[in-house]
């Protein structure tokens, strides 16, 4: 460490390296002494701070040489590093601190102090004015004191404060320096720790309650005297960082909100270049067709550049089906956006919507899973931070709908309030039929888009969301989906196995079949279908994504339904005719032709004679039956040689 002469400010680390008398050579000990003696709060004769933030990397505090013990200051002076500089009178203080440091102090004072300094400066200026007119200093002071309604002695004391000071630097010297009683009231470290720990809790107790507990449960049983509550409250405000108070009492989210909100410009975007989607649960009771009553959920899509609501669907919950349908409305009515901002909810991150996206953070991603709506159309997916309303501009529209739609006169009596303790007087007195509610929502969204004077970046306080979107949409490159793309992307995809025998594919209890499926029996196929019309047809694709056919549903028929039976016979006849045509095209040969084409092979099988004959013995009922048959034979039977050999072998005995 190199310290030049005339250095007046030192960090705790620099003081530790110098090993000054009375301080020692441990940085930790110096910091403890600085905290105990309040070096950070010490001021000079002119109330100039004797501690300042360190400008170098790492931060911390630097202390003026005047806060050090006398022995340490003498040692610094003997080293030629610093001068012994006790701020004891005004002229010397002005030399040591300088006008710049006083101006910094003056800038941090209250408006009342600044006003008083200006009043004093005006009185001093009156003295100089009278002197320039020819009056003596005494006569000028008397006249100026009379004009300012102050005593002459007071004005003389003000003049002494600015001796040798330029007129431009007089304000900080004339500012009043009223201080408190001097030394800070001491408090036991354990009691202070008890008080602060109790106060900095998520339950957010009041400071008065924490002070009372500290006195009753900690200080009094131990015989410790503590300052009054107001003194400790000022100590808390002075020494405990406000950010720590927010983090401990209100949580991390409140601490994050203490930072300025991030602003993102949309000036570089055009209409339908990027959209965001989100769900909003209305604070309204509706009646569903089956008679149930509940709060409806709306899934909406907003254009980010213009803030216009482009499409919406209302359902009982935020689900993948409603999400798919609202995207279908967007693609059909406006086109295909380039990017979509959505959160990681189960409805938006489902395989039906974002299947195949490698950045999806829900469900297990498989290479063979069907692609979702956005993935199939090449729409870039951006995931918003969960539970962060500022990440999605559409949240601002939801707040408007809470007032313009949920509290609409047509829905009077059905409004539930936005929280349990904010229920209206007529809570639960009415439930709006869902179709009527959908009409109110549609009208409310149209009015929302058409309202002029929007103060967004693109509307500039004059235009509506409709105007901004229309102006950009007319000149922007908009992607349109073909029929094949919509069929591929907008329909729900499920993987099913084609029946090995009948080539039928089954989905949700319904069977589908087409002749083209015969070539794919036993294989896994991807079915794309409209979940709202399962009794219609499905589009069948193989595992590589190649389109196979459109298979209609096979409906169950009545047991004695003759027309259906006739249709079945016609279907079977068509199948037989198709097979005959395929047979002709294949040019197959009959069996006789195949036999005639084969060469003749005479029977050349050789006679086989065994080299070893195994004897066979007859036991049990079999042998008895044979014996009986031989005794009742009418004619003598010649015993074959092999039989005689077997009988002789049976009479043999093993000789040891």
Q: What is the DSSP letter of 435?
A: H
pLDDT value for 76: 78
Helix (H) or strand (E) holding 236: helix 229-239
pLDDT value for 85: 45
How many CB atoms are located within 10 Å of the residue 589 CB? 10
User: Could you give the angle at the alpha carbon of 655 between the alpha carbons of 652 and 656, nearest 5°?
Assistant: 160
Q: Which residue has tokens 């693109």?
A: 458
pLDDT value for 471: 93
pLDDT value for 407: 93
Q: Is 61 helix (H, G, I), strand (E, B) or coil?
A: strand
Q: Which residue has tokens 């009372």?
A: 212
Which value, to the nearest 10 degrees, does the dihedral of the CA atoms of residues 610, 613, 619, 623 take?
A: 70
Model-wide pTM > 0.85: no
Q: Is 505 helix (H, G, I), strand (E, B) or coil?
A: strand
How many CB atoms are located within 10 Å of the residue 256 CB? 11
From 393, 334, 381, select the one nearest 353 (Cα to Cα).
381
Give the whole-angstrom CA distance, residue 76 versus residue 97. 18
pLDDT value for 461: 92
Q: Which residues are within 8 A (CB) of 324 and not within 5 positions of it... i.e. 6 or more apart?
A: 352, 353, 373, 490, 492
Q: Which residue has tokens 């794309």?
A: 528
Give the whole-angstrom CA distance, residue 70 versus residue 81. 15
Q: Is 432 helix (H, G, I), strand (E, B) or coil?
A: strand
Phi-psi region of 355 (alpha: psi -120 to 50; beta: other; left: phi over 0): beta
pLDDT value for 560: 42
> 125-133 long-range CB contacts below 8 Å, 24 or more apart?
127/155, 127/159
How many CB atoms are located within 10 Å of the residue 128 CB? 14
User: What would the two tokens of residue 408 be?
Assistant: 């609409």
- 522, with CB counted inside 10 A (0-12, 13-18, 19+), is exposed
Q: What are the angstrom distances between the C-alpha of 620 and each of 228, 592, 616? A: 120, 54, 13
User: Could you give the angle at the alpha carbon of 199 between the alpha carbons of 198 and 200, nearest 5°?
Assistant: 95
3-state helix, strand, coil in the chain (%, to 5): 45, 15, 45
Helix (H) or strand (E) holding 294: strand 293-294
pLDDT value for 71: 76
> In 151-249, which ranges are E strands?
none
Residues of the chain with pLDDT under 50: 1-5, 84-97, 360-363, 365-370, 556-562, 622-623, 626, 629, 632-633, 635, 637, 656
pLDDT value for 160: 87
From 480, 481, 476, select the one nearest 269 (Cα to Cα).
476
Give the whole-angstrom CA distance, residue 534 versus residue 491. 11
pLDDT value for 553: 86
Give the whole-angstrom CA distance, residue 518 versus residue 504. 9
User: Could you give the angle at the alpha carbon of 556 between the alpha carbons of 551 and 560, nearest 5°?
Assistant: 135
From 378, 287, 303, 398, select the one nearest 341 (Cα to Cα).
303
pLDDT value for 479: 83
Q: Is 24 helix (H, G, I), strand (E, B) or coil?
A: strand
Q: What is the DSSP letter of 590?
A: P
Helix (H) or strand (E) holding 437: helix 434-450
User: What would the two tokens of residue 237 be?
Assistant: 């405000």
Phi-psi region of 62 (alpha: psi -120 to 50; beta: other; left: phi over 0): beta
User: Could you give the angle at the alpha carbon of 372 between the alpha carbons of 371 and 378, nearest 5°?
Assistant: 85
What is the per-residue DSSP string for 317-380? S--HHHHHHHHHHHHHHT-B-SEEEE---TTTSSHHHHTT-TT--SS---TTSPP-HHHHTTPE
């Amino acid at each position: 460490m190199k310290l030049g002469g005339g250095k007046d400010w030192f960090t705790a680390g620099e003081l530790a390296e110098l090993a000054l008398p009375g301080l020692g050579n441990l940085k930790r000990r110096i910091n403890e002494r600085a905290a105990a003696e309040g070096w950070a709060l010490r001021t000079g004769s002119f109330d100039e701070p004797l501690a300042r933030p360190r400008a170098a990397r790492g931060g911390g505090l630097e202390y003026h040489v005047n806060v050090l013990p006398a022995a340490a200051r003498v040692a610094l002076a003997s080293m030629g590093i610093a001068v012994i500089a006790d701020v004891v009178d005004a002229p010397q203080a002005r030399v040591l601190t300088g006008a710049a440091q006083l101006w910094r102090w003056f800038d941090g004072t209250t408006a009342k102090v600044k006003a008083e300094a200006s009043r004093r400066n005006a009185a001093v200026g009156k003295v100089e004015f009278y002197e320039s007119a020819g009056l003596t200093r005494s006569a000028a002071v008397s006249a100026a004191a009379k004009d300012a309604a102050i005593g002459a002695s007071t004005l003389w004391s003000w003049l002494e404060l600015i001796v040798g000071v330029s007129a431009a630097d007089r304000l900080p010297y004339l500012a009043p320096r009223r201080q408190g009683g001097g030394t800070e009231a001491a408090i036991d470290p354990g009691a202070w720790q008890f008080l602060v720990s109790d106060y900095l809790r998520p339950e957010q107790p009041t400071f008065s309650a924490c002070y009372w507990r500290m006195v009753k449960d900690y200080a009094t049983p131990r015989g410790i005297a503590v300052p009054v509550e107001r003194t400790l409250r000022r100590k808390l405000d002075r020494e405990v960082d406000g950010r720590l108070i927010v983090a401990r009492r209100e949580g991390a989210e409140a601490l994050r909100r203490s930072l300025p909100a991030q602003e993102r410009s949309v000036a570089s975007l055009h209409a339908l270049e990027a959209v965001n989607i989100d769900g909003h649960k209305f604070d309204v009771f509706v009646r569903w067709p089956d008679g149930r009553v509940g709060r409806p959920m709306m899934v909406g899509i907003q254009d980010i550049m213009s803030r216009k609501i482009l499409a919406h669907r209302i359902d009982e919950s935020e689900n993948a089906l409603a999400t798919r349908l609202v995207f279908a409305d967007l693609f059909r009515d406006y086109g295909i956006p380039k990017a979509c901002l959505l959160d990681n909810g189960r409805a938006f991150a489902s395989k039906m919507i974002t299947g195949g996206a490698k950045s999806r953070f829900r469900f297990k991603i498989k290479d063979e899973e069907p692609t979702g709506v956005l993935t199939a159309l090449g729409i870039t997916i951006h995931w918003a931070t969960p539970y962060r309303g500022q990440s999605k501009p559409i949240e601002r529209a939801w707040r408007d709908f809470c007032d313009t739609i949920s509290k609409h006169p047509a829905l009077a009596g059905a409004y539930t309030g936005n929280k349990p303790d904010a229920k209206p007087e007529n809570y639960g007195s009415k439930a709006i039929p869902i179709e009527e509610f959908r009409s109110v929502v549609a009208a409310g969204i149209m009015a929302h888009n058409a309202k002029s004077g929007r103060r967004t970046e693109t509307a500039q306080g004059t235009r509506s969301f409709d105007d901004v979107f229309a102006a950009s949409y007319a000149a922007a490159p908009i992607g349109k989906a073909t029929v094949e793309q919509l069929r591929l992307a907008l329909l729900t995809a499920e993987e099913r196995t084609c029946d090995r025998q009948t080539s039928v594919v089954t989905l949700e209890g319904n069977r589908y079949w087409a002749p083209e499926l015969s070539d794919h029996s036993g294989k896994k196929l991807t079915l794309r279908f409209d979940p709202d019309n399962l009794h219609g047809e499905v589009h069948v694709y193989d595992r590589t994504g190649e389109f196979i056919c459109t298979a209609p549903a096979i409906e169950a028929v009545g047991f004695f339904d003759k027309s259906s039976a006739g249709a079945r016979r016609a279907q079977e006849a068509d199948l037989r005719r198709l097979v005959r045509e395929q047979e002709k095209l294949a040019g197959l040969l009959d069996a006789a032709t195949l036999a005639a084409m084969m060469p003749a092979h005479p029977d050349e099988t050789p006679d086989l004679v065994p080299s070893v004959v195994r004897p066979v013995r007859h036991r049990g009922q079999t042998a008895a039956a044979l014996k009986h048959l031989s005794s009742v034979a009418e004619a003598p039977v010649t015993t074959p040689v092999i039989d005689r050999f077997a009988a002789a072998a049976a009479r043999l005995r093993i000789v040891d």
